[in-house]
Structure 1
Amino acid sequence: MPKRRSAGGMLLAGVLAVLATIVTFAISLTSLQARIASIQQVELRFETTAQELLATVGFAGLIHDFKNCVIRGGAEPAYCDATEARAAEALVLLAELEASATAGGVALEAAPILEMVEAYRSRVPQVRAGHAAGRPAEQIDAAVRWDDEPSARAFSAIIETTSRQINARVEGLYRDTFIQYTLAILVLLCIGGWLLFAIRTESRATRDRESQLTAVFSAVAGGLVAFDAEGRIALTNPAAADMLDLPDQPTPFDWPAHVEITWAEASAAGRTEPPLSTAHAGGRLHEELCHLRLSAPSSRPDRLLRVSAARLDLPGLGLRSVLTMEDVSEQEQQRRRIERVARLDALGQLTGGIAHDFNNHLATILYAVDLAAREVESERGQVLLQSALRTVERGRELTDRLLSFASRHPGTPRAERVEAVFTGLRPLAEAALPATITIEFSQAEPDLKLLCDLGQLENALLNIILNARDAILSSGMGSHLRVHARSITLPAGRIGDRQAGATPGAGESHRYVELSVTDDGPGMTAEVRARATEPFFTTKPLGEGTGLGLAMAYGFARQSRGDLTIYSEEGHGTAVRLILPRADATEDRREEPVPPPDILPAKGESILLAEDDEELRTTMVIMLEDMGYRVEAAANAAAALEIVERGTPIDLALCDVIMPGEMNGMDLAKRLLARDPERPVLLMSGYAGLISGEDAESDLPILRKPCMPAELSRALRAALGD
């Protein structure tokens, strides 16, 4: 009896210790997470404001306007007005920047920036007075010239230093979080070991104490995996089991073969051992960025993790190390978007400044050649001068492209017939392709017209075609390209942040022309696809590519109020889509917004959806159910066929063409039609109809992905016979 009372007391004390530990660390971690989120928002606001301030003061902003005020302010005083307006805008942004820095807990040394802005603003009245007095620009420039290079260097250094200090605060908070997280785990493990010792003393209390331990480890946020001395998994919490898609099995067990954790690019430098080897050996990892890839039988998408590992010195527990994992896929995507915007903006400013100055040089050469042509009478001299003029014109075309990429020059948008665009592009494309690669041009409907600059469009399409050619030739996989045009309708706001014109009202849509270049080449990895439109990013060997082809095509699409998207699966080809505004049938302007097409409701039918992409499958299930359909979903062809074979009533099968496993969507369609020829099958594909072999002769309807809900509803009703 005394032993029983002692065991009960130990159990009660252990439970109270667990609860106190959970509450204490939960409050502490919640506070830290709130502080981290707040500082991250401050960091994002600081970076955004800094980029706006750089653009406002930079060579395409305040400095540009002031130089033009000096040179042309007498005839065009608007440049002087613009200088003062830019200066005022810069002061407002500077105040916002100081406020962000203060909120981030650092002090911004704003004096050099303020000095630069005030220096230009204070000289504007002097420039105006000089022009009013009729002084030449050279004299005015000599009077107001100011060496802004030291301030500009200090400007950049201040922004970089302040940003680094704010980032250091975020990293410090993350370190604190990890330390507290690890301490919480160690404390809970200690308490858990103690409870296990107490539980062994009394058989009746065993079940209750095991449930207490389960509750403790379930309360730990993020994934937790503990390894024993042999490197086997000795302990997991529910978050880790779900994250790694672990089967329900007794511990300890070996690391499952379908789970692969590898270094991400940011953490891979100088590392020779994979993350798991370090964790098994009891090595230390601190919030390292890693890739998580789950192979069959799991169908979950790849994720990004922050992985930490530490050695455990807890005698009696048999645990060597603990691995903690936090899913940061969305945070990393957001961070990369911010970095990409910053890089593109900086590159755009540099490109715009170079092109602007080069245009000035070209203008000087042009005027000098024109004057010389009036003086030279010999035929040979005239020939040479005309050659110089043609060279200047080619230089102007080059700077037009640079300015278009830098979003400083919108080109000359005109209404162009797709058929005429293809007619002009065909000989250029065929001349650039070897005999082993064929190309075809097609359009879904006649008389399609789009609004854009024809020269820039041809250049963008040709760059995309050449990229596809190089991918096919370098891999030895593929032999065919298809350039296809179709009309699509997107609701207001779908590309709203890239619209420079009037925004359509609520309940309105814009019609676009989608020009897709599809190849049957090697396709892209997810990492390459994510970076494909970054300037200077290329997978080609050194010296064989600039990495500007898709970047300039992307810049052209954005400047034309459109978009560029890439659909690709490794081993199955790539489809690059240029989405451009549709032109009015009679004028060189964009079509007016149109009412959105109606979504045709279901009539109670049941649909079998076979789609391997988990996020897309989940979204489509919700959308189809909203239309009124009953939905049976499968992650691959084999699972879809199993649903049919067990007798589930299905009125229509909606299948993706490209799916993993022994059967693709076309194979599944043939099996389903062999079982029931009367049951309709509708295929989906991200490629523009580029299906080879016997499948190309199939008369099954193929729906292009992505498609709008109204288009999907019409395709379903048509397949069902309505």
Structure 2
Amino acid sequence: MITIDVRDPLPLAQNLRFLAGGGAATRLILARDWSDHPLGQPADWPDILKSNLSLILNSPESMILAWGKDTLSFFFNETYIPLLGPRVAWAMGSPFHEVWADGWEQAKPIIDDAFAGRSQRFNDLPWKLDTDRGAADTWFSFSYSRILEGDGDIAGLFILTNETTDRVLSDAALLRAQADLLDLNATLEQQVAERTADRNRLWQLSSDIMLIAGFDGTIEAVNPAWTRVLGWSGTELIGRPLFDFIHPDDLDNTIAGARGISEGEVVARFANRYRHKDGSYRDIEWNAGPGDGKIIAVGRDATEVKVQARALEAAEGQLRQAQKMEAVGQLTGGIAHDFNNLLTGVMGNLELLELRIARGRVDDVERFITAAQHAGRRAASLTQRLLAFSRRQTLDPRPTDINRLIAGMEDLVRRTVGPATRINVVGPPDLWTTMIDPTQFENALLNLCINARDAMPNGGALTIDTANVWLDAADALEHDLPPGAYVRVSVTDTGTGMSAETIDHAFEPFFTTKPIGQGTGLGLSMIYGFARQSGGQVRILSELGKGSTISVYLPQHEGPAVPQDDAPTGTTVANATGGTILLVDDEASIRHLIDEILDEVGYTVIGAADGAAGVKVLQSGARIDLLITDVGLPNGMNGRQVADIARLLRPDLKVLFITGYAEHAALGDKHLEPGMELLTKPFSLHQLMTKVADMMAA
């Protein structure tokens, strides 16, 4: 491989410096083995060959040197290389008749004439040659002239050549085009006449209204469709402002549209109402734009289409309302069924208790009390599931390590699903933190595991799997979530699986595939509501006979998890130290119940039926150690507002909110401040007393 700069003579040996300046052509000469060539090594070539070869090598024009009258050894410069095509690797120094074997018959007479002293110039001579573009018809302008030795003998040929293919083809195309710019002229007037006639027919026959107007709105031309659509004749319209015919409510918008067209805008499906000659209005949709300094517009009568659209919208609204009422009926029917069962248990046991006490039989009353309490707790669980489904349950979110939470539940899950189910727990050690209510997550996970167990009546494998996932824009759209980082918790079983129809209804409340009495149909709906309220999503993958995977996606929380230690036992009621409590609740039965139990353990309770009454107590000089207030209060002041006023009046006052659901309108987006706690209805009296004792002792 020759790596020297062949344009600079100095790197070359002194007897080869005549080759300098030839670029790629010089490299081809240096690369060839000349030991068996008739001319011998380049250093030994005669001076007349060296000087002529140096001339062509340094020329920017396409040049050839054919040396030796008998051998015609073929030399060429760098500019000529593209014309050689596949020959370039071996052509340097080869016989002329071998290099251009495909053109030798055409070249031989020209070479003979040149040797005889009859040099000629040829312009745009056609050749069929293999070039760098492959076999092609080509055209060349060239001249052949002989080179004589000092004694007059013929030393070789000098050929100046230039490919003119592009120009020849361009000239031919131009001639054809000129013959065509002639054919068009011959028919142009006829075409113009035909197109004018076509436009006139279109103008006359179109069912769409057509308009030409000035930018100031003056009507200059209309087609006959105006009369069919709007009742006006052309003579009644031309010369008048089009704004005279537009509904007053659409006037400003139309004037603005005309102004935009005057500034070069094109408008599509521009809608306004035009006055019919009978005084009614028709909906017209326009496509309009500027042309020749005018407004050119085509409009379509959309009145009937809009009437149909409004009718369709009304029908869809009625259908949605019917579907909504059907869903409400299904929901209320399910609630009524379950609550009637639970209330029967509560009321029946209380009646039996009343009957036994009336007869003086108190030895077995604990059994009826326990049964009534059990039914009450089931009713509380039912309301929590309903609130979870509707995303209204009260959540207590905190930064949570889900892996640690699952590890703490593993024994409970194993006891719940039984020995016939193998449990696998899989998760990365670096699982991201999430901001969730740990207790509600535990409930959701336990429900998923119970569903998985029930789907495997003969036993099987249950896998709890956690993972960090990133949802890009496409994945997020598929999951109905914002793009970003999520923790995925999946529960997979090897059970019976679900059909596509079952999956479609799986999150509906009271929908269940279990036999009557074996499921409420609220498990998955509660999980769905919890996930959505936590900013996440639930997805189901299932195949009949092969099992199911239910995945809960929860947003990543930036920051460390809060350790989930065992719940404190709380201050015992016996340690209550007394104090004064302001209780604000509009439900008299609840207010009296709380008053009774707190009074029983030594607290002084001041009751108020609404926020205004509570504020009056706060404004008095009475000692208040704790404010207990319902969140949802009547008469224009909710519990959060009462608490805010209380903190203004008494900055260090402790506040306990009690609520039946997470009332966003009341609590707003505010977080609970230090010294504020939340207790969700229904709560046991023990829970209330423990919470009050903890807050009073804090």
Q: Normalised by the size of structure 1, how large is the TM-score?
A: 0.29
Q: Which is greater in Rg?
A: 2
Select the structure with the greater relative contact order (CA < 8 A; seq sep ≥ 6). 1
Q: Flag the structure with higher strand content.
A: 2
Q: Normalised by the size of structure 2, how large is the TM-score?
A: 0.29
Q: Flag the structure with higher helix content.
A: 1
